[in-house]
C-alpha cells in the first residue's frame, strides 16, 4: 500500500489529523489495533477548550458538538464552607464546552470513513525505515493479511502503550515523569447534574469533582489511594464521600443509578523528542497529564494542529522548516500544560502525610486565586486554552 501519511492510532489525535489532512487534499491511512466499538466506547475526557471547539468546527465535525455540547463560562473552586466561581469570559473572553471524548471520537470516525481508509482490529504493528524518505508501517489486518504501508510521513498517535514511541531509539529519548500518590475514582450516573458548571472541591478527606456529560448524566470523582480497588467502593460509599466533600449550606447532591465506575492513577509524563526522522509523535504517545486541568485531549488537539500544518507545508510546497520545528514547538506547549495540570493537582489534592501546615498552604492558594483578578486570569487563560503555537 502507498499513501502520503500513515497514521497509527484511531483516537482523537489520529482521527483529527486525518481529517485536517483530508481537508487539505492530503491522503492518509489510519490503522488501529482496537475494534471500532472499543474505540467509540472509551470513557475519557469531557471538557474541550475554546480553540479545540473552534478547530473541530472548522474541520467540519462540530455540528453535533454544537447541538449537544454544554457551553460553560466558568468553574467553581470550593473548600469547606465556601464556593467561588471563576468567570472565564470576564477574565479572558473564552469559554469551554462539556462534550465527552466518546462523542468526539464517534464524530471523527464517521468523518474518516467518508474521507479514506481506516483499519480497525489490526495486529503486529511496527514502524520501520523512519530514517529514510520512505518510512513504512507494517501490520496484519483484521482478515489476517500482512500489509506494508509505505508513506512519506508517519504520525504516531497510538497512546502511551503504542509502538510509535518505542520506534525512537532509547538512546535518543529523554523522559520525565511524576507519579502522584493518589488516584481518582470516577463514576458515571444517570442523574441530572447538581451544578451548572464544574465544581473542584478541596476537603480534608481528599479532592472531589462534580462534572457532567449531558443534562441527564453526571460525571463525578473522588480522590482515593492508588492501591484502592474499585469493588471496595459501593455506590453508597461513593455518594456518601461526594456528599461529604462537596457539602455546602443550601446545596444538595442529587444521586442516581451508577452506570460506570473506575479508578484512574495520576501521573505526569513527557517524552522527547516528538520527532525522529519521518516519524512524528502526537498526543498520549508523547505525554500524559493528570486530568485535574482538563488538558489531555486538548493537548493532543494542539499537537495535531501544529503537525497538520507542518505536513501540509511539506506535501504542498516541499518545505521542511515546520516539520523540523515540530518537536520544539509542540514540546513548549506540552510543558506549559504539564505545569498547569501539576499546579491544579497540587492545589486541590491532599497527599498522604499532609499536615495542618500543608492544608493551610493549599487553602491560602485557593483564597488567593478566588480573590485576585490576576491569579484568576492566569487560571482562566490556561484552563480555556493557550495558543496552539506558544
* Active site residues per annotation: 72, 200, 291, 295, 383
- Residue tagged 506558544 (cell numbers): 390
Comparing CA positions, the residue from 58, 349, 332 lying closest to residue 181 is 349
Helix (H) or strand (E) holding 27: none
* CA quadruple 204, 206, 207, 208: dihedral, nearest 10: -100
Q: Are 70 and 98 within 8 A, CB to CB?
A: yes
Comparing CA positions, the residue from 50, 57, 47, 51 lying closest to residue 20 is 57
Q: In Å, how far are 71, 137, 193, 237, 271 from 240, measured between CA atoms?
A: 29, 50, 16, 5, 39
**C-alpha–C-alpha distance, residues 246 and 248, integer Å:** 6
**C-alpha–C-alpha distance, residues 278 and 155, integer Å:** 8
Residue 69: φ, ψ to 5°: -70, 155
Comparing CA positions, the residue from 98, 57, 76, 103 lying closest to residue 246 is 76
**C-alpha–C-alpha distance, residues 311 and 130, integer Å:** 15
Cell numbers for 209, please give them: 469533582
**C-alpha–C-alpha distance, residues 1 and 163, integer Å:** 20
**C-alpha–C-alpha distance, residues 48 and 94, integer Å:** 12
Beta carbons within 8 Å of 154's beta carbon, 6+ residues apart: 5, 6, 7, 8, 127, 130, 135, 137, 164, 278, 279, 280
Q: How many CB atoms lie within 10 A of CB 82?
A: 13
DSSP 351: P
**C-alpha–C-alpha distance, residues 365 and 354, integer Å:** 16
Amino acid at each position: 500500500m502507498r499513501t502520503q501519511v500513515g497514521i497509527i492510532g484511531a483516537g482523537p489525535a489520529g482521527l483529527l489529523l486525518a481529517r485536517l489532512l483530508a481537508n487539505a487534499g492530503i491522503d492518509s491511512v489510519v490503522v488501529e489495533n482496537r475494534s471500532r466499538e472499543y474505540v467509540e466506547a472509551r470513557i475519557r475526557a469531557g471538557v474541550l477548550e475554546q480553540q479545540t471547539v473552534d478547530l473541530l468546527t472548522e474541520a467540519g465535525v462540530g455540528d453535533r458538538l454544537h447541538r449537544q455540547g454544554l457551553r460553560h463560562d466558568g468553574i467553581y473552586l470550593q473548600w469547606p464552607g465556601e464556593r467561588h466561581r471563576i468567570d472565564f469570559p470576564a477574565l479572558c473572553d473564552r469559554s469551554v464546552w462539556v462534550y465527552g471524548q466518546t462523542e468526539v471520537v464517534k464524530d471523527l470516525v464517521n468523518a474518516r470513513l467518508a474521507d479514506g481508509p481506516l483499519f480497525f482490529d489490526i495486529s503486529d504493528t511496527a514502524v520501520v525505515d523512519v530514517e529514510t524518505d520512505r518510512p513504512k508501517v507494517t501490520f496484519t489486518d483484521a482478515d489476517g493479511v500482512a500489509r506494508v504501508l509505505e508513506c512519506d510521513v508517519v504520525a504516531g498517535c497510538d497512546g502511551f502503550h503504542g509502538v510509535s514511541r518505542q520506534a525512537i531509539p532509547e538512546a535518543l529519548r529523554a523522559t520525565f515523569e511524576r507519579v502522584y500518590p493518589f488516584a481518582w475514582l470516577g463514576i458515571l450516573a444517570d442523574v441530572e447534574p447538581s451544578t451548572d458548571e464544574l465544581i473542584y472541591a478541596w476537603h480534608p478527606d481528599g479532592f472531589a469533582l462534580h462534572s457532567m456529560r449531558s443534562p441527564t448524566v453526571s460525571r463525578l470523582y473522588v480522590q482515593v489511594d492508588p492501591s484502592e480497588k474499585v469493588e471496595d467502593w459501593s455506590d453508597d460509599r461513593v455518594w456518601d464521600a461526594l456528599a461529604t466533600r462537596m457539602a455546602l449550606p443550601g446545596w444538595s447532591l442529587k444521586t442516581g443509578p451508577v452506570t460506570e465506575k473506575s479508578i484512574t492513577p495520576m501521573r505526569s509524563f513527557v517524552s522527547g523528542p516528538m520527532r525522529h526522522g519521518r516519524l512524528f509523535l502526537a498526543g498520549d504517545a508523547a505525554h500524559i497529564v493528570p486530568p485535574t486541568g482538563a488538558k489531555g485531549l486538548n493537548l493532543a488537539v494542539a499537537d495535531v494542529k501544529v503537525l497538520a500544518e507542518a505536513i501540509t507545508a511539506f506535501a504542498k510546497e516541499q518545505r521542511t522548516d515546520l516539520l523540523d520545528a515540530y518537536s520544539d514547538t509542540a514540546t513548549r506547549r506540552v510543558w506549559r500544560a504539564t505545569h498547569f495540570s501539576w499546579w491544579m493537582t497540587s492545589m486541590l489534592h491532599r497527599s498522604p502525610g499532609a499536615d495542618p501546615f500543608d492544608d493551610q498552604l493549599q487553602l491560602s492558594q485557593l483564597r488567593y486565586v478566588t480573590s485576585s483578578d490576576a491569579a484568576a486570569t492566569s487560571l482562566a487563560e490556561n484552563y480555556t486554552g493557550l495558543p496552539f503555537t506558544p
